[in-house]
Amino acid sequence: MPVREAPPHEQGHRGRLRTRLLNAGGDALHDYELLELYLFLAIPRKDVKPIAKALIARFGDLGGVATAPVEQLVQVEGVGEKTAAELRLIQALAERLAHEQVIGRPVISSWSALITYCRTALQHAMTEQFRVLFLDRKNRLIADEVLGKGTIDHAPVYPREIVKRALAHEASALILVHNHPSGDATPSQADIEMTRSLTEVCTPFDIVVHDHLVIARENTASFKTLGLL
């Protein structure tokens, strides 16, 4: 069946959305309206408002849509594999932009940008992921590696493997980051014990663990702030 041409009122709607974006910025638009603007490019000759609203209803918000697996995205009426792949591009772009704000910069002076980067990468992940940020002697971020992936509530982590990677990067300090897909950022006892074990393993190599961040959907917990480091 041929794709129907967008009628004039739809074209006018698209123009009005673009004008609002240009004049007032993204904050002036709802999540589904921003998604509409993106879908205009992926599906140029179709009314995409119902698709945008269905995606937000299914996945909660833009972050949920951008990180949803392709096999779940295509279950939404009107979303094919091509559109699903292009939706995943949103997350890739967001992570790249956030990464550019922190790479090579001292983490102390760009801490809020670092938190934004970590949250962008992990806030909406549906399974647990353990990342390590490697810092040089000036506390500049030199690398970010995923060293553990797992289930919804567990990602295997091996302290000696982390130290091995730190030595390979000639890192002087580390920031540990992992997510809690359950939505509760409270560190678990296993998180606490693993962090203590890693700190002990790092000590002979003069590698400092600056912090361990736990990312949840709505908030972030810091071991340092909580007095656990």
Domain-embedded: residue 183: yes
CATH of the domain at 178: 3.40.140.10
Domain-embedded: residue 228: no
How does 212-223 read in b/e, with b if 16+ C-beta sit within 10 Å? bbbbbbeebbbb
Given the structure tokens 């904050």, which residue do they identify?
A: 27
Give the tens place of pLDDT for each residue, 98-149. Answer: 777 777 777 767 788 888 888 888 888 888 889 999 999 999 989 999 988 8
Whether residue 210 sits in one domain with residue 108: yes
Q: What is the pLDDT of residue 1?
A: 44
Whether residue 112 sits in one domain with residue 216: yes
Q: What is the pLDDT of residue 105?
A: 73
Whether residue 195 sits in one domain with residue 163: yes
What's the predicted TM-score (pTM) here? Answer: 0.70
Whether residue 209 sits in one domain with residue 183: yes
Give the tens place of pLDDT for each residue, 152-194. Answer: 556 677 888 999 999 999 999 999 999 998 888 999 998 999 9
Domain-embedded: residue 229: no
Whether residue 116 sits in one domain with residue 77: no
Rounded to the nearest integer, the mean pLDDT of the chain is: 84
Boundary (domain end) residue, out of 34, 62, 95:
95
Question: In total, how many domains does the chain have?
Answer: 2
Whether residue 107 sits in one domain with residue 211: yes
Q: Which helix (H) or strand (E) holds 55?
A: helix 49-59
Boundary (domain end) residue, out of 53, 80, 95:
95
Q: Are strands 220-222 and 208-215 parallel, antiparallel or unpaired?
A: antiparallel
The CA-CA-CA angle for residues 112, 62, 177, to 5°, reads 40
Q: 220: which 2 tokens?
A: 């972030």
Q: Give the structural domain span for 137.
A: 101-222
